Structure 1
Amino acid sequence: MSPAPPTVVLVHGAFTDAAGWLGVIDELQRDGIAVLAVANPLRGLTCDAAYLASVVSQIDGPVILVGHSYGGALITVAGTADNVVGLVYVAAYALEEGESLSELQDRFPASPLVGSLKQWTYPADGGKIATEVSIAPEAFPSVFAADVSPSIVRVLAATQRPLATSTFTEAASAAAWRTKPCWALVAGADQAINPEVERFGAKRAGATTVELEGASHAVAVSRPTAVADLIRDAVRATSG
């Protein structure tokens, strides 16, 4: 008997939401692929990965996890679940166990994102005040979505979701790519994550890798067919 086809679970990163996957979802659903785009809490690597793992545990059958940007760190940790059969990194961080986002990024020159962040505060547990960051509106087009139409970029900038700053220093508790097959897409013109970070992580993970020249960090929005093609490769490879 052939194995059941996997469900593709899409995990967005910082400064966006699940709507960033709309074009990719349309592509996959037209091929009859089951898709779920989760809402990433963006509150911290440990708690966000635990949330993703809880979603995965409630899905019957095999799962392919697809992570964009910071979402790549989450699939790296949550991907150790028994029913996860593959990982796809889209302009994403592929962390090593015990490594943080900052430690991986600091291996390479900083991207323009670093100087383009705006700080906010929000109430945390115990009456404490925590800090989160978003991209300054005037920097958003060039940093996040340089190859997306201006009308769409304005919407993306207005609807971005901030990331808790504590996320940058939390260490990954696992590296699922050590035991799971993985694929990676490098956005060649990414100004949010240095493409060298993406290339390094993909090579270290032994990922089957494609690179899109001129693609921005918002590659799932600007080039949904190319992103969906890589996911289709993962689905075929894990479906027997």
Structure 2
Amino acid sequence: MRKITIATTSDGYKLEEMGHQPWHEYDGLSIDFILDFKHIPEKEYLLKVTSLSKEFEWINTENDAFVFDLEKIKRNFNVFSECKWMKSYITLKPNYEPALDGSKFIVSFSATKKEIEVNAPKKIFLSHKGADKSLVREYFQLLKELGFDPWLDEDAMAAGTKLNRGIYQGFKESCAAIFFVTPFFKDEDYLEDEVDYAIDEQKEKGDKFAIITLALKNPDGKTGEIPGLLRKYVYKEPSSQLEAFREIIRALPLETGKKVWKN
């Protein structure tokens, strides 16, 4: 378990980091706030942590929840620099315990590597030309109904979001990118960026990110041209929407087919 400690001092706080210890069974993240406020009620410790967390750009508080930006932590602390599993965000609950010497109090947040990977965002980015929006929305609805989390620009980005930044963040939160290549699809402008982002994510996330390219025909039977950079990845030319959807499900890096009652 890799650790960050934030200890209060007379003039502020002291920040330290510690690498994974061989004797610890699991690797992961632990953030300990060591508070020197032993004479205050226990319920007020969380208020102290909330106040102190405002000093750090990698912690956000939402009501009683603490949200940690794992990528910012990775950039700011050397002990996480090689950890590919430090991705996106994770929400953690506080744990409370007195320090061993009884003079301080510790509020800690922790998650194992496996817990971080399990809780990582699993969005599915739908890359397409605007002219194909109605077609892609059908796939969006099907994926949604099956319990997946598809990313479609007009639904995922709030008004005022810069398009390139919104797209970049969408890829960071995704485990797959589906390219709907019709005759309208051209490897230029924002679509060119999306191809680059997808390749970068696949290199970084490995088998936790899939590039799914579908060459689709228009009503006249003409097929879209696969961008050069995507040709080195497997792509399909489905003869129907049903076949295209089957290819999507097969290629996703997520388990499917769990049978549970609706209610």
Identify the TM-score tier after normalising by the shorter chain: 0.3 to 0.5
User: Given the two structures, how large is their TM-score scaled by the length of structure 1?
Assistant: 0.38
Question: As a proportion of its length, which structure holds more helix?
Answer: 1
**Greater relative CO, 1 or 2 (CA 8 Å, sep 6+):** 1
Query: Which of structures 1 and 2 has the bigger CA Rg?
Result: 2
User: Given the two structures, how large is their TM-score scaled by the length of structure 2?
Assistant: 0.36
